[in-house]
Structures are given as structure tokens and as C-alpha cells.
Amino acid sequence: MDRYSRLVAWLKVLLPLTALGLLSTLFLLSRNIDPMAAIPFAETEIAERLKGQQITGPFFSGTTDGGDRVSIAAGTMATGENSRNEAEDLSAQIDLASGTRVVLFSDRGEFDMVSNTSALEGNVVITTSSGYKLTTDALAAEFDTLVVESPGPVAGTGLFGQLNAGQMRLYRAAGDENAQLIFTNGVKLIYDPQTLEE
């Protein structure tokens, strides 16, 4: 047997033994984990979780009376008072029967599962597939009958340019197939023909 063959034969034995030795030292030298050690949570986070039941990443979906599809998601949701649920990092998507999509984002919101109403607050952003992007401080919504309205002013861009209004309402009138987006209370529109060209 030549020198190379003997070296290969020895390495076939030595390398697996070396690997077993290294693995055994991992188990011998590893630290003991105390199962009774405290879980690393901040005191404020524990206090918030103890206030009520909380769900992380909830998702709800359904349809309105007129056949529009509604889906709602949030970062967290906690039970509040009188069947109202409080949510953080909220998003809602409404696919209207006419084909238009309306997407809502807000920092927080409240849902009443009994009356099917909700209130969105804090940096509310409304975008539509028809070209509107609006911001407001708050929105009130009834998803079963599809009524979404802002109690205060809205601002943003629309189909024709810059838009400001004292109030906005998205709803479907009784007997009407299509939903309407209505602006009221001092509507100001700065017409920009380039918006239409784009």
C-alpha cells in the first residue's frame, strides 16, 4: 500500500472521530438554562397586556349589503369597553362592486362588532384605484351599509389636481348600484391638467 492510500485510510478514521469530539465538547461546555428565569418583557408591555385580551395581527373580511367586499387588518387589537375593540396600525380595503378599490390606513381605530361601526383616528390616508389620495384626522365607517365619512377636513390629490374639502363621504344611495364619493363644506380644487395627462 502506497503512502497516499495509507493517509486516506487514516483520515477516514480520524476525521469522524475529531467531529465527534468537537460535538461532545459543545454539550459538555454549554451553559445551563434556567427555565424559571424571567422572560424579557418591559414592564409597560406587561401592564398593557394585562389590561385586556389582545390579538396580534387580526384579519376580518366580509361583504356589505350591496355586495362590496371589505377586509380589515391591524397590527394589534385589544378588547375595550362596551363591545368596542381598539386596534393599532389599522388598514382596510374595500373592493366596490363597480370595480373601484378603496384602501384606508390609520394609526389606530375602534370597532364595535355589535353595530358594525368603526372609527379610524390619527394620520388617516385614503387611496382609491380611481386616482384619489387623501389625508384626514378621522373617519367614521359603517361597513354593512357602506358609509365612510370624515367628520373633519380632508386634503390631497384627486383626478383633476389638488383638493381640499371640509368633509368627505363615500356611500351608496338606496337603490343605486354604484357608490359615490362626495366632497362638501367648502370644497377647494386647484385644477392641474398635467394630472389628467399622466
Ordered DSSP codes for 104-157? EEEEEEEEETTTTEEEEEEEEEEEETTS-EEEEEEEEEETTTTEEEESS-EEEE
Q: Name the residue type at position 26.
A: L
User: For the chain, what is the radius of gyration of the CA atoms?
Assistant: 29
Digit-coded pLDDT (tens) for 7-23: 888 888 889 889 888 88
pTM above 0.85, yes or no: no
Digit-coded pLDDT (tens) for 150-184: 989 999 988 788 889 999 998 887 777 778 888 88
3-state secondary structure of 133: strand
Per the CATH hierarchy, to which homologous superfamily does domain 55-197 belong?
Lipopolysaccharide (LPS) transport protein A like domain (2.60.450.10)
Mean pLDDT across the stretch 108-129? 86
Q: Within a 13 Å sphere around the CA of 76, how many CA atoms are in the beta-carbon half?
A: 10
Top-confidence residue, 191 or 83: 191
Q: Tell me how far CA of residue 174 lies from CA of 30, 87, 179, in angstroms.
A: 71, 31, 10
